Amino acid sequence: MSDPASELEYDLRISINYHRKREFFFRCVEGFSKAVSLLALASLGFDVNWFTWSIAMLSAGFTIATIVIDCSGLAAKHKELAGRFCDILAKTPVANSIPELRTEFFKVSGDEPPSLHGLSQLCQDEQDAAEGRAVDPKRFTWGRRTAAQFGFGQRDIDFPKQSADV
């Protein structure tokens, strides 16, 4: 992939995929929190027992966590960043200056929150597979996809092997 336009498109697609995954994750956490709150509200009509008490505590915990983490704000931020990367991607086929687009890419990247490396690697693996490169199917397990959202799931970096002649 020595073409600068292709390299830029590759990086843009990985960034878009990353931010869409983060947006989806935060929307799911917020939705789950609301569902648990509704369950806790529905359980108010019953006698207080271990189940209703635990649902109430779970609801309180999730509500506090989503407020502190600001799931809706983070989801909106990731949606906005994905949109900005999509705008750059839309310009690449007709762009006269790829270096200017690369500069724009780095400016948008500067606004990104700290990256979860495992999730970045997962997005890169998915992009490689989508482009037909050989990727080990074990990299796409449900466990790794889930762990990557929490900052885990990082795999060892597999640098390309170089010949001794180089």
**Whether residue 104 is found in the same domain as residue 132:** no
Same domain, 109 and 124: no
149 lies in some domain = yes
Q: What is the pLDDT of residue 166?
A: 46
Domain count, the chain: 2
**Is residue 126 assigned to a domain?**
yes
Specify if 86 maps to a domain.
yes
Local confidence band at 19 (pLDDT 50, 70, 90 cut-offs): very high
Q: Is residue 159 part of a domain?
A: no
Same domain, 89 and 147: no
Q: Within this chain, do residues 91 and 125 fall inside the same structural domain, yes or no?
A: no
Residues 21 and 123 sit within 8 Å (Cβ to Cβ): yes
| Contact predicate 82/113, CB 8 Å | no
| Confidence (pTM) | 0.79
Instruction: Say whether pLDDT at 128 is over 80.
Output: yes
**Euclidean distance between CA atoms 36 and 66, whole angstroms:** 12
CA–CA separation, 166 and 146 (whole Å): 40
Tell me which residue has tokens 């600001």: 70
Residue 128 belongs to domain spanning:
116-154
Same domain, 123 and 106: no
Q: Give domain status of residue 73, yes or no.
A: yes
111 backbone dihedrals φ, ψ, rounded to 5°: -90, -5
On whether both 57 and 82 belong to a single domain, the answer is: yes
CA distance 85 to 16: 6
Would you place residue 151 in the very low, low, confident or very high pLDDT band (cuts 50, 70, 90)?
Answer: confident
Average pLDDT, the chain: 86
Q: For residues 128 and 137, is the Cβ–Cβ distance under 8 A? A: no
